[in-house]
Structure 1
């Protein structure tokens, strides 16, 4: 939010927008003088009244910047990491569930093309997986796949391979489904890659933007990994 607030201030005062800013400022100066005269007639020309008018104008300006910053945070796309490639949208998505935010970001990225999402989780993250099913009921149709041993890469491999096998029977291709291999343990990542490496199945990960303390605070758009 702080970055968006700074960007909003730059938009207000950027030299790149000087011409429209100049035209607008002339209009606002005339309008401002008229409003000022009205306020002086209402509140008087005493020092306390003028201070109230100045503080009120400052609060209105800061409020405008805040509103613009909120709008920027909603419409500004998450920029991919430099030199990385974003995947195309896929019909299917396999997710390993940990924090809900990167899972939401991965699902939303593949909409509106996304038709099915399979959630792989542990007993500890089952509640998060069920929450995602409630948020995306038409996408997360299947029950979450609970891994018994999160340190067994072969269990992850077998569960992911079973998804591809079942979908082939439904007429899907391996390339219709992309697997997000980050989210649980490193053993889970190894298992998912093992399930995909010989089938030419697409892979991705959903990176996070880190704060100054190296803690994730915002999920970015997924990054595609090409194995061959």
Structure 2
């Protein structure tokens, strides 16, 4: 695809998506991009502008253009009020079902007994960036019956619950750990080998009551920072 702006953009995006260009790395100078893609200076500038608009890169005054960290953890009020995806990403809801009881570690926060388990992935094109689950207390379904349907809520079930119930939802705790992928992780992330992954767990409360617990498993090669 040499010689076209779209070719340059597609090539750089693919390298960023596959982490052969990592967050914080500097793009080659304009002259090098002009030579590599057989473009004019204005063509390279147009391509960089497109990459900036999609959040792949950002400029630093007097220093150049750098790869953006597109896997920042979205947490706290930002996560509740703006959702878990970034530009160019989509949510694929796998299921949303009532289950008799959550895992033991979830029950320590949410309590024993029936709850709603929502399973989804966050994707960019054919890449699975994150595999997530949430366990939601049945009391939430009184205000947000849609949590039992395998579809996204705008922007999140927590925000819809706040709006309809008049109660504030807060992130009571958040932990980030690393682990070697389980068979379930590998299936969800479409991996064919063991790998180290980062895991974020969040507990959502209204007042003194836990109403939900979430876990996100981030694919290898997509670094995250605490936001």
Give the TM-score category using the shorter length: under 0.3
TM-score, normalised with respect to structure 1: 0.25
| Higher strand content, 1 or 2 | 2
TM-score, normalised with respect to structure 2: 0.25
Larger Rg computed on CA atoms? 1
